[in-house]
Amino acid sequence: MKALVTGGAGFIGSTLVDRLLADGHEVVVVDDLSSGADANLDAARQAGDRLVVHVKDIRDPATSEIVAASGAEVVYHLAAQADVRVSVAQPALDASINVIGLLRVLEGAREGAVRKVVFASSGGTIYGEPDPSVLPVDESQPELPIAPYGVAKKVGTDYLRAYRAVHGVDWTSLALANVYGPRQDPHGEAGVVAIFAGLLLSGSPCTIFGDGEATRDYVYVDDVVDAFARAAAAGSENLYNIGTGQETSVNALYAAMAANEAVTDPPIYAAARPGELDRSCLDAAKARRELGWSPQVTLEDGVKAVLDWSRSR
Ligand code: NAD
């Protein structure tokens, strides 16, 4: 099969590119390298002419032509402005990339021979602030996003539904939990695992905002990429949560990572940052039933992989 991956030079996208190439597919990447990096594709380039890379902003109308002319059967749409705080500060910028950019890709999909679009949605934001009594959240929860980023991710699935109805392009949306793994940018707000890894390896103290009891659902990037791969052939016209169902506090995450490095220093605590969810956790039973997907990598093994990767650089 030939697949096209937008955002294919990013953290998750480049890991997906590696997986698709390893599975024997041809891959076309569209990425403007704004938060991704060409170096993330170093391993993928060993595939020779099975990999084609277009450095292109998805907002550019020429993106539709690239997608249509690519001959891709499946489009994985991961390119995005992926920072919630940027979306709050610059909602029009967020919408231009995450809504208009998606439409450029979808226009190309319907003009070309694309059978299916698989979309990276966000389980941590599309449901807004669910009542703690419904955690872990399943897909029956109302989608009530409170950040512009979450609004764009919700609307992304609405557009996919519309393109299926009007143009017949199949789709699957994957509502991802907090993804972590090698290649994650330690400078963003989302990558607490990458941030802690960098600080622990440089012998610097780690700062935890708030009391450290806020929880997230940390899912390893290889498991996430496996869900994308499965969605090429399953899960038509559906949204799936992709998470572990396990809540991990920031304190517990720090403890697991510090233990791996035999660091006994406690973290530094600073004032909580406004606007952050207290608890977040996804129920992925639907993905287990309908995609045959379940997470395989434990938090201990996953953070060890991140620390080993960071050490090797
Ligand atoms: P990332 O920033 O590493 O990847 C995004 C990629 O998109 C980058 O390579 C970037 O250069 C590219 N990009 C950004 N704007 C672009 C534009 N205008 N034109 C072309 N390319 C552009 O982030 P990631 O963590 O790998 O996220 C991948 C996808 O998964 C995103 O859609 C993100 O919203 C979604 N997601 C991520 C997480 C997470 O925990 N990392 C959680 C939920 C959803």
The pLDDT tens digits for 208-250 are 999 999 999 999 999 999 999 999 999 999 999 999 999 999 9
pLDDT at 177 (0 to 100): 97
Q: Which domain holds residue 41?
A: 2-177+220-243+281-296
Residues of the chain short of pLDDT 70, as ranges, are 188-190
pLDDT at 189 (0 to 100): 62
Residue numbers annotated as active site: 149
pLDDT at 188 (0 to 100): 64
Burial of 168 (0-12, 13-18, 19+ CB in 10 A): exposed
Residue 50 falls inside a structural domain: yes
120 lines ligand 1 (CB under 6 A): yes
Ligand 1 nearest atom to the CA of residue 190, by list position: 40
pLDDT at 186 (0 to 100): 83
Residue 82 falls inside a structural domain: yes
pLDDT at 190 (0 to 100): 64
Residue 77 falls inside a structural domain: yes
What spacing in Å lies between the alpha carbon of 3 and ligand 1's midpoint?
A: 17
Residue 166 falls inside a structural domain: yes
Phi, psi (degrees; rounded to nearest 5) at 123: -70, -20
Q: Domain containing 123 — which CATH number?
A: 3.40.50.720
Residue 34 falls inside a structural domain: yes
Whose Cα sits closest to atom 6 in ligand 1?
7
For the whole model, what pTM was predicted?
Answer: 0.98
What spacing in Å lies between the alpha carbon of 158 and ligand 1's midpoint?
A: 19
Residue 160 falls inside a structural domain: yes
> Please, are residues 86 and 97 in contact by the beta-carbon 8 Å criterion?
no
Burial of 185 (0-12, 13-18, 19+ CB in 10 A): middle
What spacing in Å lies between the alpha carbon of 82 and ligand 1's midpoint?
A: 5
Please give the tally of structural domains in the chain. 1
Residue 62 falls inside a structural domain: yes
Residue 193 falls inside a structural domain: no
